Structure 1
């Protein structure tokens, strides 16, 4: 699979690159071929609301744009400040129970071998803001 991947992305059959230039957050108990770096927890929102909330947080970040949207999945791009390298971020909201949702997020560099932790920091920051928004409602 290329780093860009196809859209919509199948998180269960995801095969990340061997290079350390990606970060994956998956729901607790989600069956996937890839081992996630972080597990995500359910929130008291519908999946559509959870995805809209996450998308708003992401699009508020500098140099970030929406590339595609299908169902409960979005694909975003963010360019680095100095060199303009593009990272691709795919997020999907999933049902976690009645009026509960959980997110899967895959962020990867499209160029280069090592990302200096950029993808981890981005996903962690966006998920922290997402959970804070969920608690504030």
Structure 2
């Protein structure tokens, strides 16, 4: 993966091949350019705790799957429906930096849990971009679930 390929690609072009994220064993990098949201007790390094979603996992997956296409400069990279997991790339408006967003819905008693991981592929610090993105996705998911 070359930095030039990352910067000059559009959508998923120039990115390394997508592989599913194993959230149970995810090791977060030491850099501050990531944000992980997880269900309560879902990951010891989670930056954000996601409340239980008040719908079953299949319903939450359908809503989540449609969310990514609603955000500017965001493209689906790959989806694994059997895992209820998908990955998107969002590119910055000015420099075209690619950030990866991975999400997985898991069935839990009384509803569904959500893992949402946003990370930069370039640089050390993101000035809070990934945290704001996770907050934006969580708010959009909550609003979409309320609308039914």
CA-atom RMSD in angstroms:
1.7
1:130 and 2:130 equivalent?
Answer: no
Q: CA deviation at 1:5?
A: 9.4
Cα distance in structure 2, aligned partners of 1:130 and 1:62: 16
Q: Which stretches of structure 1, 4 residues or more, deviate above 4 A after TM superposition?
A: none
Q: Is the 8 A contact 2:18 2:87 kept in 1?
A: no
Q: Which residue number corresponds to residue 19 of structure 1?
A: 31
- Which protein is bigger by CA-based radius of gyration? 2
Cα distance in structure 1, aligned partners of 2:59 and 2:90: 22
Q: CA deviation at 1:7?
A: 1.8
The answer for unaligned runs of 5 or more in structure 2 is: 1-15
- Residue correspondence of structure 1 range 1-137 to structure 2 within 5 A: 7-30=19-42, 32=43, 34-70=44-80, 71=82, 72-97=84-109, 100-137=111-148
What's the secondary structure of 1:9's corresponding residue?
coil
TM-score normalised by L of structure 2: 0.82
Question: How many residues were matched structurally?
Answer: 131
